[in-house]
Amino acid sequence: MIAFDDVAVGDSLPGASFPVTREHLVRYCGASGDFNTIHWSQRIARDVGLPDVIAHGMFTMATAVRVVTDWCGDPGAIVEYGVRFTKPVPVPDVGGAVIDVTAVVAVKDDAARTVRVDLTATIPGPDGAGPVGVLGRARAVVRLA
């Protein structure tokens, strides 16, 4: 596990790219009990105005925080985590999607021995456009030894 004294505000965590397939979504449906058809039926998703099947918001949130848990080495060290959902993650049947996550240490609290890590989660924009943010105000507070 990373030590509190070895961390400074402005430190970047190792980023990661997470592939997402329809299989991931179906498995998440089963694990979460959220079988909303927009997460597995392309026809229904498009009928309600979505570009394709979309990832669950909580799936996207959980995927993003993996950067923090991989960095700190202990999922139990996260004492607070919150996001705002800004854009859905469409998951095409062929090729799936990729969520790119970066993170930086934004605040260090010496008294509590915690750091706040700010995350950025994006997907490639349509037709090769620049990245599109899918989470806003994504912040994790981590207690370090």
Mean pLDDT score across all residues of the chain: 97
pLDDT for residue 32: 97
Quick check: 127 pLDDT over 90?
no
pLDDT for residue 61: 98
Domain locations along the chain: 4-143
pTM for this predicted structure:
0.95
- Tell me the per-residue pLDDT of 52-79, one tens digit each, with 9 for 90 and over: 999 999 999 999 999 999 999 999 999 9
Residue range 13-41: mean pLDDT, rounded: 97
CATH number, domain 4-143? 3.10.129.10
pLDDT for residue 128: 77
- Tell me the per-residue pLDDT of 84-125, one tens digit each, with 9 for 90 and over: 999 999 999 999 999 999 999 999 999 999 999 999 999 999
pLDDT for residue 126: 85
For the chain, the three-class secondary structure string (H helix, E strand, C coil) is CCCHHHCCCCCEEEEEEEEECHHHHHHHHHHHCCCCHHHCCHHHHHHCCCCCCECCHHHHHHHHHHHHHHHHCCHHHEEEEEEEECCCCECCCCCCEEEEEEEEEEEEECCCCEEEEEEEEEECCHHHCCCEECEEEEEEEEECC
